[in-house]
Structure 1
Amino acid sequence: MHNPADQSLAKKLPQGTLRDITPAYLEEPRSRFHGQAGLIAAPHDAAETAAIIRACAEANVAIVTRGGGTGLVGGQVMPDGPAPLILSLERMTAIRAIFPEENVLLAEAGCTLQQARDAASTAGRQFPLSLASQGTAQIGGVLSTNAGGVNVLRYGNARALCLGVEAVLPSGEIIHDLKRLRKDNTGYDLRDLLIGAEGTLGVITAASLVMAPIPPEIGTAMMVVESPAAALSLLALAQSRMAGCVTAFELISGQGLRFLDTAFPDLRQPFADRPDWLVLIEVGLPTGLSADEALEALFVDGAESGLVSDGVISQSGQQSTDLWNIRETIPDANRQIGAIASHDISLPLSEIARFITDATAMLSAQGDMRINCFGHLGDGNLHFNLFPAEGRSRDEYDPIRKDLSRAIHEMVVSRGGSFSAEHGIGRLKAADLARWADPARLAAMRAVKAALDPKGIMNPGVIFPT
């Protein structure tokens, strides 16, 4: 315990919910923020969650809800101010029910994304949200940040895959809204309000999730393209040929491939020369249609159109896994190289190619650096990350790092894009939101926050700067 006030609050918490304070609860993956805690509580259900929140409200103690801790914008830690209570959902891991005929799965918030995916698989379905961190990321955190991932192009992000929630409001009241309905026009949609709120309006304790059929014919290919503009043309061609059956369409840069050579030299890559641009395509087709033949036809059409110069199509599940491993290992290589600044941005598809050209030119005038641009091209989400030039250290760029990020975000916003595509606002981007958000929208968000959390105890400093 940090002080007598912590001890007084601890006595009001449900028996058996307190946890020891360990470093794991105070960390976030990028080590940009180091958290603090007066108490850590891990409830077993929504009722205990509600009791904890009521006790904190009475004592005016801030609450930071923690899931798997994989968020990249500092929303899971509170570095400043009075030490908060950390509310961990680690004990709430149950799959409450599966309704295969409805394509619905009920999962508690502490269930990992992988557990939800495995549960859907046992029912002959899929939960199509897929992230590199799915073995650790929890359903509550995935919904609270409205996470995206590689399959948004076909299935949508977390919000599109949730029908209803059970949640506890800052007052300690429980919303029992675990609907399994596709249609329900009965007033304000509090589910959509809580999804993406990053723990600032309440705590999601369970959710009804949308499952989907597993396509019987799945194919994966990696194709060499001349430029991002060519990749976008190939995407349009793939979408028109396959009528919405493109599951993923990922852009990979040659710089990312060279980083893999440095960080993971044993990782096999399909092209001896490192092309400037690749796309990784996955399609899922109905019975009777060959995914491999569809990808082969796409390759031929792309080659005849001058969009594609080389490619490989997986001939087995292992080969598909190997191709995806290239894409999913790029973030690990980035961490080993060490970025100057990372940017999670989204743009209208028609603006992407020009943005990449213009941003690269702008940065080349600012100094010598390397750019690794990759991401979910199909839904317009790029990770546009900056790295030191070979032989230089990250510290050399500290005087200009913030200016570089601001310049990139300004270019994105001016093109109708977003400076936070799938990672959320957290603490890292709260000042950016204040700078670039529409004033009326920001005022409405503040009004909602004040109405639901008048004491400001829910994750203070997240979304709105303190």
Structure 2
Amino acid sequence: MIGQAIIDRFSALLGPKGVITDPDDIAPWVSDWRGRYHGTAAAILSPVSVEEVAAIVALAGELGVALVPQGGNTSMVGGATPPADGSALILSLRRMNRIRSLSADDNLAICEAGVILSNLHDAAEAAGRRFPLSLGAKGSATIGGLVSTNAGGTQVLRHGTMRALVEGVEAVLPDGSIFHGLDALKKDNRGYDIKQLLIGAEGTLGVITAAALRLVPAIAARAVGWVGVASPADALALLRLVEAELGDAVEGFEVIADETLGFVLGHIPGTRSPIETRTAWHVLIEVDHGDLRDPGPVERLEGALAQAFEREIAIDAVVAANEAQAEAFWRIRESLSESEKAQGPALQYDISVPVARMPAFMIDAADAAMARFPGTTASSFGHLGDGNVHFHVRAPKGTSDGPGWIAAQGQAINAFVHDAVVAAGGSISAEHGIGQMKRTELARLAGPARIGALRAIKAAFDPQGLFNPGKLIPLPDEA
């Protein structure tokens, strides 16, 4: 545990507003979003500037105190939860919440790490632009966390992950130095790309304090459709048809099992199925246009869907008649994680497989898991266009002790699912990161070259091992 003398040193550095020690105020921030990991922290350090972050890191290095960087605490893999032994302090970036600049001419926003994603959306919209990354936790997820985990979301098909959207970063490195990398240079051949090392590093190599983010033109018009199909294979055929007809105007393409849709309808008030026909699988499509001179997206999507009916790919479909209905369709998608959590104990997998193999994986992996672990149910939903599957194995009906079931079955189910992913040529982490949840599985399944490189980079940047300990990097006895 970290004693009062150390807390006093940080209090002298930051002042009374910069250090939180009340246990009631700390309590919401020491458990992960899913409630699976629980830690302890004697204090939350809350700086307001990059200079204060640098001073915190320098003092932590002097005292040998570990730091756990934290934004909105929406990690799905325990990536922002402090250790249970109280050996680390939480470094909260939430007070660093300024949008330093936003230029429609440059299509660029410079945001501090604590900026909430939905606030950036609003600011960009006011300037006639948008930041093309969205996810269910947009009302609490922060820019620093999104950069640190290389977040994905529902618009990767067209715009890519955070790696593609981050033009530059400002960060404090473990020695207390400030990396000034916010210049959005298209060409820069000065050696290793430090920015890309920090993106997706989960706070193990540096503390992201600000990011320069790429904006795109505001949507002039959009069409959102909901399509019932018989199988993921038909969903992929529909994707290829829509891409052929509409090109890169296709912004989102999500596939959802009917069982998973049922969880939303059962647990999220005010939701209803967009189509009357009961189908085994559902597809949510968004088509966007940034140019008012383009043909109307509704007409173009309806034309593509007419072809889907002719080819017997689609069973039923509806195109949203207005923005309220379009938002209702997306609310279903954005409520999937919440409804799965309400459904009961489950093991959730954020995985990726090659797009061509995704339809078979969604069916075969679910059938295999249910056969191997009797009483469980399994289904998935995902970003079909980029091969990202959210695959869930749920505890047998009537299971009251969720943690007990996970403790008894979790390791075996994890290995079973991840082995299937690797066999399909995929990754055990598509967009949520490794955190502490997947660290041992990374050690088991990743090759020695990958593990060796991760450890070497970590040792070079953070020789004291003080940045987000226990996350991402497998321990020596785990490989």
Aligned residue runs from structure 1 range 105-184, under 5 A: 105-184=109-188
Superimposed CA distance per residue, residues 80-99 of structure 1 (whole angstroms, 9 cap, x where no aligned partner): 34521211111101110112
- 1:301 equivalenced with 2:310 (yes/no): no
1:418 aligned counterpart, secondary structure: coil
Cα distance in 2 between the residues matched to 1:64 and 1:421: 22
Q: Which residue of 2 aligns with 1:29?
A: 33
Matched AA of 1:221: G
Q: Which residue of 1 aligns with 2:21?
A: 20
C-alpha contact 2:375 2:397 (8 A) present in aligned 1: no
- 1:280 equivalenced with 2:284 (yes/no): yes
C-alpha contact 1:338 1:394 (8 A) present in aligned 2: no
TM-score by length of structure 1 reads: 0.96
C-alpha contact 1:375 1:382 (8 A) present in aligned 2: yes
Cα distance in 2 between the residues matched to 1:205 and 1:392: 43
1:55 aligned counterpart, secondary structure: helix
Q: CA RMSD in A?
A: 1.7
Cα distance in 1 between the residues matched to 2:236 and 2:50: 45
Correspondent of 1:401 among 410, 426, 429: 410
- 1:258 equivalenced with 2:262 (yes/no): yes
After TM superposition, give the deviation of residue 397 of structure 1 in Å.
4.4
Cα distance in 2 between the residues matched to 1:158 and 1:301: 34
- 1:413 equivalenced with 2:413 (yes/no): no
Q: Which residue of 1 aligns with 2:445?
A: 436
C-alpha contact 1:344 1:420 (8 A) present in aligned 2: yes
User: What is the aligned length?
Assistant: 466
Q: Which residue of 1 aligns with 2:190?
A: 186
Superimposed CA distance per residue, residues 309-344 of structure 1 (whole angstroms, 9 cap, x where no aligned partner): 110001111110111112122222111111321111
2:191 aligned counterpart, secondary structure: coil
Aligned residue runs from structure 1 range 178-217, under 5 A: 178-217=182-221
Provide structure 1 residue ranges, at least 5 long, that are not aligned to the other structure.
none
Cα distance in 1 between the residues matched to 2:399 and 2:277: 25
Structure 1 residues 38 and 391: CA distance shift in structure 2, 3 A: closer
2:212 aligned counterpart, secondary structure: strand
Cα distance in 2 between the residues matched to 1:265 and 1:144: 33
C-alpha contact 2:133 2:156 (8 A) present in aligned 1: yes
Cα distance in 1 between the residues matched to 2:128 and 2:155: 18
Matched AA of 2:205: L
Q: Which residue of 1 aligns with 2:467?
A: 458
Q: Which residue of 2 aligns with 1:99?
A: 103
Cα distance in 2 between the residues matched to 1:412 and 1:394: 28
Provide structure 2 residue ranges, at least 5 long, that are not aligned to the other structure.
none
Matched AA of 1:406: A
Task: Tell which deviates more after alignment, 263-272 or 227-236.
Answer: 263-272
C-alpha contact 1:427 1:465 (8 A) present in aligned 2: no
TM-score by length of structure 2 reads: 0.94
Superimposed CA distance per residue, residues 119-174 of structure 1 (whole angstroms, 9 cap, x where no aligned partner): 11111000011011111111000100010000011111111111001100000000
Q: Which residue of 1 aligns with 2:359?
A: 353
C-alpha contact 2:382 2:389 (8 A) present in aligned 1: yes
Correspondent of 1:424 among 433, 436, 453: 433
Task: Tell which deviates more after alignment, 72-81 or 12-21.
Answer: 12-21
Task: Tell which deviates more after alignment, 407-416 or 79-88.
Answer: 79-88
Cα distance in 2 between the residues matched to 1:407 and 1:159: 30
After TM superposition, give the deviation of residue 12 of structure 1 in Å.
5.5
Q: Which residue of 1 aligns with 2:346?
A: 340
Q: Which residue of 1 aligns with 2:391?
A: 384
Task: Tell which deviates more after alignment, 370-379 or 104-113.
Answer: 370-379
Matched AA of 1:284: D
2:105 aligned counterpart, secondary structure: helix
- 1:66 equivalenced with 2:70 (yes/no): yes
Structure 1 residues 37 and 45: CA distance shift in structure 2, 3 A: same
1:102 aligned counterpart, secondary structure: coil
Q: Percent identity?
A: 42
Correspondent of 2:244 among 240, 244, 250: 240
C-alpha contact 1:13 1:55 (8 A) present in aligned 2: no
C-alpha contact 1:145 1:424 (8 A) present in aligned 2: yes
Structure 1 residues 149 and 368: CA distance shift in structure 2, 3 A: same
Matched AA of 1:379: D
